[in-house]
């Protein structure tokens, strides 16, 4: 009963480095999304996907890239890390066939120095 799994949980990057945050769900959900959470700002949508092969930008997409080759996986790539990308990242999934309840991963704490 894994739900939404994110890795890594913690990561420190140097400015300019690239990395990928992994996200996988085992609920066969169509919708997957990535959010970042910053103090006092709530969760902001970075990118989302409504199915394999379909992605779109959210509120704060700059500096991030996504792809959705399978229903289960939705990785988030930081192309060239900047200190402004220091944040907590959450992956989430949902499905209209389960009432659009949104399920979250445990979060990934990223620090860019």
Partner 1 sequence: KQEVTQIPAALSVPEGENLVLNCSFTDSAIYNLQWFRQDPGKGLTSLLLIQSSQREQTSGRLNASLDKSSGRSTLYIAASQPGDSATYLCAVYDSWGKFQFGAGTQVVVTP
Q: Which residues bind partner 1 (CB under 8 A)?
A: 31, 33, 35, 40-45, 48, 50, 58, 90, 92, 94, 99-107
- C-beta closer to partner 1: residue 79 or 102: 102
CB of 80 to partner 1, least distance (A): 27
Name beta bridge partners: 45: 35
Question: Coil, strand or helix: which one is 83?
Answer: helix
CB of 67 to partner 1, least distance (A): 19
CB 63 within 8 A of CB 85: yes
**Residue 14 exposed, middle or buried by CB count within 10 Å (0-12, 13-18, 19+):** exposed
- C-beta closer to partner 1: residue 12 or 41: 41
CB 25 within 8 A of CB 33: no
- C-beta closer to partner 1: residue 26 or 106: 106
């Amino acid at each position: 009963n894994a739900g939404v799994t994110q890795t890594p949980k913690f990561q420190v990057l140097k400015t300019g480095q690239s990395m990928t945050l992994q996200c996988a769900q085992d609920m066969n959900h169509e919708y997957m999304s990535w959010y970042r959470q910053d103090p006092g700002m709530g969760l902001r949508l970075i990118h989302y996907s409504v199915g394999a092969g379909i992605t779109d930008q959210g509120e704060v997409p700059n500096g991030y890239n996504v792809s959705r080759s399978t229903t289960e996986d939705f990785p988030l790539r930081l192309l060239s890390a900047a200190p402004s990308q220091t944040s907590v990242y959450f992956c989430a999934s949902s499905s209209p066939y389960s009432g659009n309840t949104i399920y979250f991963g445990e979060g990934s704490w990223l620090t860019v120095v």
